[in-house]
Amino acid sequence: MTALRLAPPVAGSRIVAIGGSRGENLVPNNDIVGPINSSDEWIVQRTGIRTRARADEGTSVLDLAAAAAEDALGKAGIEPADLDAVVVATVTHFEQTPALATLLTERLGATPAAAYDISAACAGYCYGIAQADALVRSGTARHVLVVGVERMSDFIDPTDRTISFLLGDGAGAAVVGPSDEPRIGPTVWGSDGSLASAIYQTRSWLDYRREELGEPVPARPELAEEVSQMVTPTLRQQGPTVFKWVITNIPKLALRTIEAAGLTPADIDVFVPHQANMRITDQLLKTLKLRDDVVVGRDIADTGNTSAASIPLATERLLREGDARSGDVALQIGFGAGMAFAGQVVILP
């Protein structure tokens, strides 16, 4: 019997560098409160957001991804040609095919690296890190680029009080490579499709296309009023349902993630949850009982909720501003539509 000649696995993987790119415009609360009959005070109190980053009209999701990737590659000292795989997490690349990752690979000069997209919403970056870690440790790839990127402003309904006023645009990127010892812990992940309606798109792109062509659109009574007022699909969420699910389930996920890495909550130096809502972050901190001096990612205050980009952007900011340091032990947890969730403990680059 002939044996296969497999690439030898490596001891571990690590995040070599993290880069970021945000929408060019910081939009203050006062600019958006009119259509939702709200106030700056209400938004700050409910979400912690003071501004959200919004991209220029001519800035595409590919532009945002490329800027973050180039930042990460430059910090890592790695040429695009040395990448073996490019993984992009996004829900705002509107073309079903080709994948945004293939376009990014060409833009960077990383061809012929393997390239594919992940659709896991706000958990997408952590899903990407999980796959990059596995690719490197198995010997399938030596260097993997993981990008979380969203242009959420394309999904905004200015009159929506459930989620639109939270959303921002940006991209965060990480270069993952081999390590003599594990510096990315085991991923704990999963999903709960029974809550798929907790964060949802008001209509499918197929329905939108049918309407453009004057064809019959399948009835969705639960969305009839919303759809009748929409031109293109936008996002909605059931805020209380999401909040309750996160507070009930994410602390258990976080503790399992820490335990899987062979650590305790006292070992965590930095906590970077998905930047969904500052109230959620504060409640998670109370429940997890991390150290009093733990550094917490709060990029949402200025950038807003950028879905798959939020964790790498928050991490990039902490490192750039000196609040977190190379070698710190960080817990990162992503959760969102689906409900998809994932977490890892990582050593910061």
Supply the residues annotated as catalytic.
Answer: 122, 274, 305
CA–CA gap between residue 202 and residue 222 (Å, rounded)? 10
Task: Give the DSSP letter of residue 238.
Answer: -
Structure tokens at 23: 């929408």
Structure tokens at 158: 């200015």
Residue 228: exposure state from Cβ atoms within 10 A (0-12, 13-18, ≥19): exposed
Indicate the SS3 state at residue 82.
helix
| Phi (first) and psi of residue 341, to 5 degrees | -150, 155
Closest CA to 345 of 310, 315, 322, 318: 315
CA–CA gap between residue 321 and residue 324 (Å, rounded)? 8
CA–CA gap between residue 226 and residue 237 (Å, rounded)? 13
C-alpha to C-alpha distances, 175 to 73, 79, 232, 272, 326, nearest whole angstrom:
7, 11, 35, 18, 15
Number of CB atoms found within 10 A of residue 192's CB: 14
The angle formed by the CA atoms of residues 299, 304 and 310, to the nearest 5 degrees, is: 60
| Phi (first) and psi of residue 22, to 5 degrees | -115, 155
Phi-psi region of 320 (alpha: psi -120 to 50; beta: other; left: phi over 0): alpha
